[in-house]
């Protein structure tokens, strides 16, 4: 009997040993920064895990921002922001084409109301030249109003940048993560990091709310919480301030009120309240920049009024369309606090930390979205790979790496003939679920069953837009809940709007359980 028990224990210890995974690299944070680093690392034969405490990828800063692909004239030269903005901008067309993400170049105007502001535009122009920004020019009063007839009559000039553009940031974040997983990265959601320890052998033990994860190297891309994550393993040397920005989205009916991204003349506080089309045809105004506690994304009457008041200064025509607002929302930015400790000066923090083999990708505020392709490439090629080689790890190229995502068919953009073919191939393309955006059942099913697929109502919305239209999900949300439950094989009561365990939509049946 003892021999049998000993054999049983040995077998079970062997199984536990076999199930243990020591990852080469653990990335904390599945926003645009962490997901992009994961995608770049998937070009190599490395065992990479992407961790996030949320119920979905791209669910915090990446989900709620201005969605602008900046030209690069505002970023200070010789800092990482200036170094990566313009190159990142150039990379967008290929990245978005490969990942089937909507992107278009609209151009931007920084407008001036006074001679003093015209002087500021000249300084921005010079800075843009230093950063390598193409297709810029200073416009005077007549040229500005010929280009944008709905701008304030007292605007006397503008800096035009033709390479500025628009993207859907949450769709991009999702597709970047999806492509990384397609190429071998492992994703672990609902893994909120609670502690990090460095073991005697130099590897890292990452404790999360779900399980412990061990890795030889760590990349900290935890957004506004990146300083908290680093402080779990090392002495503080940078601090991040959360700043909340509030936005309004207008109905597509007035999406062409302006054609370029309209910026006010910037100040030391920030870029100011912009008025901009969106890549999906709506109109957006915002954001402000209020210091808040981390995680605070509340909208308040005073700040919403502030957005309206300041947007009107550059586009007074907006005043007659405030009844066309379909949604207000807020997002946060993670701003490095200058000179808090020793190294940060308001720039991106992309470096191996004082803790060996631990990389910080932090302080990633505007122009972080624009810079992401170039910054992630730099992080991998100039920091992570040399760090690995120093430790005796020289990864081979992943010969099967595919930069392209599986195409996602957008039914409403097809010709009548192609719509007919799509319905013949899959009748679910003939079932419109979201009337505002003309989203079909087949499109929703597709985004559920991809890598990093949707599991929540908001997750579906981020990927293919049911609920993003005029009624904001008033008609389609119940059908989305039904489809999610069916496709995920769970009860409708288990489907959440967004965050795990805090946003249930249904709490039981009514009418005699029918």
In the three-class reduction of DSSP (H, G, I as helix; E, B as strand; rest coil), residue 186 is classed as strand
DSSP 3-state assignment of 45?
A: coil
CA angle 223, 224, 225 (to 5 degrees): 90
Distance CA 181, CA 185 (A): 4
Pairing mode, strands 204-208 and 193-198: antiparallel
One digit per residue, pLDDT tens: the chain, 514 residues?
334 334 433 334 434 444 679 999 999 999 999 999 999 999 999 999 999 999 999 999 999 999 999 999 999 998 999 999 999 999 999 999 999 999 999 999 999 999 999 999 999 999 999 999 999 999 999 999 999 999 999 999 999 999 999 999 999 999 999 999 999 999 999 999 999 999 999 999 999 999 999 999 999 999 999 999 999 999 999 999 999 999 999 999 999 999 999 999 987 767 789 999 999 999 999 999 999 999 999 999 999 999 999 999 999 999 999 999 999 999 998 888 755 454 457 899 999 999 999 999 999 999 999 999 999 999 999 999 999 999 999 999 999 999 999 999 999 999 999 999 999 999 999 999 999 999 999 999 999 999 999 999 999 999 999 999 999 999 999 999 999 999 999 999 999 999 877 778 888 777 665 5
CATH fold of 106-168+244-336? D-Amino Acid Oxidase; Chain A, domain 2 (3.30.9)
Q: What is the pLDDT of residue 7?
A: 40
| CA–CA separation, 418 and 416 (whole Å) | 6
Rounded Cα distance between 411 and 509, Å, is 34
* CA atoms of 251 and 476, how far apart (whole Å): 17
CA atoms within 13 A on the CB side of 205: 9
Residue 282 DSSP symbol: -
Distance between CA atoms of 379 and 235, rounded to whole angstroms? 22
Instruction: Give the separation between CA 110 and CA 95, rounded to whole angstroms.
Output: 26
Q: Where are the domains of the chain?
A: 106-168+244-336, 411-488
Residues identified as active-site: 70
Taking the C-alpha atoms of residue 485 and residue 455, their distance in angstroms, rounded to an integer, is: 9
Q: What are phi and psi of 189, to 5 degrees?
A: -90, 170
User: In angstroms, rounded to a whole number, what is the distance separating the alpha carbons of residues 425 and 386?
Assistant: 49
Task: Please work out, in degrees rounded to the nearest 5, the angle formed at the alpha carbon of residue 46 by the alpha carbons of 45 and 49.
Answer: 140
Q: How far is CA 513 from the centre of its chain?
A: 40
Give CA–CA dist 508/494, Å, rounded.
Answer: 10
- The strand pair at 261-263 and 108-112 is best described as parallel
């Amino acid at each position: 009997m003892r021999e049998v028990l000993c054999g049983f224990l040995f077998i079970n210890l062997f199984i536990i040993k076999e199930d243990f995974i020591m990852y080469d690299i653990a990335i904390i944070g599945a926003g645009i920064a962490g997901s992009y680093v994961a995608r770049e690392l998937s070009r190599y034969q490395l065992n990479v895990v992407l961790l996030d405490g949320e119920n979905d990828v791209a669910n915090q800063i990446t989900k709620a921002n201005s969605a602008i692909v900046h030209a690069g004239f505002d970023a200070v030269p010789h800092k990482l922001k200036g170094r990566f903005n313009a190159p990142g901008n150039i990379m967008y067309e290929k990245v978005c084409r490969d990942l089937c993400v909507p992107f278009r170049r609209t151009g931007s105007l920084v407008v001036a109301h006074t001679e003093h502001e015209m002087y500021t535009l000249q300084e921005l122009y010079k800075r843009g030249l230093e950063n390598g920004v193409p297709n810029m020019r200073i416009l005077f009063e007549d040229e500005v109003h010929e280009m944008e007839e709905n701008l304030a009559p007292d605007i006397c000039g503008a800096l035009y940048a033709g390479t500025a553009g628009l993207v859907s940031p949450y769709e991009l974040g999702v597709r970047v993560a999806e492509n990384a997983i397609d190429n071998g990265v492992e994703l672990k959601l609902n893994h909120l990091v609670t502690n990090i320890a460095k073991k005697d052998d130099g590897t890292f033990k990452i404790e999360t709310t779900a399980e412990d994860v061990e890795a030889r190297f760590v990349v900290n891309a935890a957004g506004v919480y990146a300083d908290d994550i680093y402080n779990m393993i090392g002495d503080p040397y940078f601090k991040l301030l959360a700043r909340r920005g509030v936005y309004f989205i207008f109905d597509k009916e007035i999406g062409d009120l302006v054609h370029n991204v309209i910026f006010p003349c910037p100040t030391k506080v920030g870029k100011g309240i912009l008025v901009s089309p969106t890549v999906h045809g709506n109109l957006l105004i915002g954001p402000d920049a209020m210091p808040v506690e981390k995680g605070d994304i509340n909208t308040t009457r005073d700040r919403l009024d502030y957005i309206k008041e300041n947007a009107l200064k550059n586009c007074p025509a907006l005043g007659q369309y405030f009844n066309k607002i379909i949604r207000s929302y807020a997002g946060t930015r993670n701003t490095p606090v200058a000179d808090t400790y020793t190294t940060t000066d308001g720039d991106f923090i992309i470096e191996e930390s004082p803790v060996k083999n631990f990389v910080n990708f932090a302080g990633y505020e505007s122009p972080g979205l624009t810079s992401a392709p170039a910054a992630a490439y730099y992080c991998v090629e100039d920091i992570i790979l040399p760090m690995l080689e120093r430790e005796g790890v020289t990864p081979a190229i992943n010969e099967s790496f595919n930069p392209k995502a599986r195409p996602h068919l957008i039914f409403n953009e097809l010709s009548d003939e192609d719509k007919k073919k799509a319905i013949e191939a899959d009748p679910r393309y003939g079932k419109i679920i979201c009337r505002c955006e003309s989203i079909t059942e087949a499109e929703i099913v597709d985004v559920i069953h991809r890598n990093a697929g949707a599991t929540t109502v908001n997750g579906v919305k981020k990927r293919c837009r049911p609920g993003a239209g005029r009624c904001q999900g008033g008609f389609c949300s119940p059908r989305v809940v039904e489809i999610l439950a069916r496709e995920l094989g769970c009860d409708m009561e288990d489907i959440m709007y967004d965050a795990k365990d805090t946003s249930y939509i249904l709490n039981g049946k009514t009418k005699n359980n029918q």
